[in-house]
Amino acid sequence: NIPILIDGAHALGSMNLQLNRFSPDFYVSNCHKWFCCPKGSAFLYVKETKQLQIRPLVVSHGFDSGFNSEFIWTGLHDYSPYLAMHVMMNFWEDIGKERILNYMYDLRKEACKYLTREWKTELPIPEECLGSMSLVELPPSLYKSLNHVDYSTAEQIQNILYHEYDIEVPIKALQEKLYVRISAHLYNNFEEYVKLAKSVLKIAPL
């Protein structure tokens, strides 16, 4: 009898999301990430038996008129991102959800194989646990002279990649190692990961 809320920020558009399979009490996800809708679009799912307990932060015209009425009009909120969502829904339907997901997963898998081979490093978790994103260990030669690897070390590498090589990727410090978090979507191609691999190898040790 413990209520379950799932923060599925990256789920919509990166996996075959089926809420009816696990039936949470509450579920939230963004539409502007993997689903590619305009920023500011997201959704809140509330199980029907819980809807009377949930009220919007902004009280407006629909107050006390039911769940949908209370949430549909919250003051001066900009509705244009939601009005544009049908365009992306048509896009996904036209290309095909499975086709898009397969492309993302296959590209991410090939990119991981290539990066670990070029850098002689490993993935921190098994391949079968991965979808469209992955951490890939960076070459230890980047930071071997340092006594401690932390957030500032990761930020240094991330800034070098952005400012000197025009590459935008998050760099993470975990247990005295550095990792790059790569993603793969329909608009990505393998050459981008080749550029990342070569650029990292060009960076002088910190």
32-71 pLDDT, tens digit each: 999 999 998 999 999 999 999 999 888 888 888 899 888 8
- Looking at the predicted structure, is the pLDDT value of residue 1 above 90? no
pLDDT of 41 reads 92
148-198 pLDDT, tens digit each: 999 999 999 999 999 999 999 999 999 999 999 999 999 999 999 999 999
Confidence label for 77 from pLDDT (cuts 50, 70 and 90)? confident
Tokens representing residue 138 in the block: 């960076």
- Looking at the predicted structure, is the pLDDT value of residue 75 above 80? no
pLDDT of 95 reads 97
Better-scored residue on pLDDT, 60 or 75: 60
Bridge partners for 12 per DSSP: 15
Long-range interactions of 111-119: CB distance < 8 A, separation 24+: 111/182, 111/184, 111/190, 111/193, 112/136, 112/182, 114/190, 114/193, 114/194, 114/197, 115/180, 115/182, 115/193, 115/196, 115/197, 118/197, 118/201, 119/197, 119/200, 119/201
- Looking at the predicted structure, is the pLDDT value of residue 134 above 80? yes
- Looking at the predicted structure, is the pLDDT value of residue 199 above 90? yes
pLDDT of 22 reads 86
Q: Name residues whose C-beta falls within 8 Å of residue 153's C-beta, 6 or more positions apart in sequence.
A: 143, 146, 173, 178, 206
Confidence label for 72 from pLDDT (cuts 50, 70 and 90)? confident
- Looking at the predicted structure, is the pLDDT value of residue 206 above 80? no
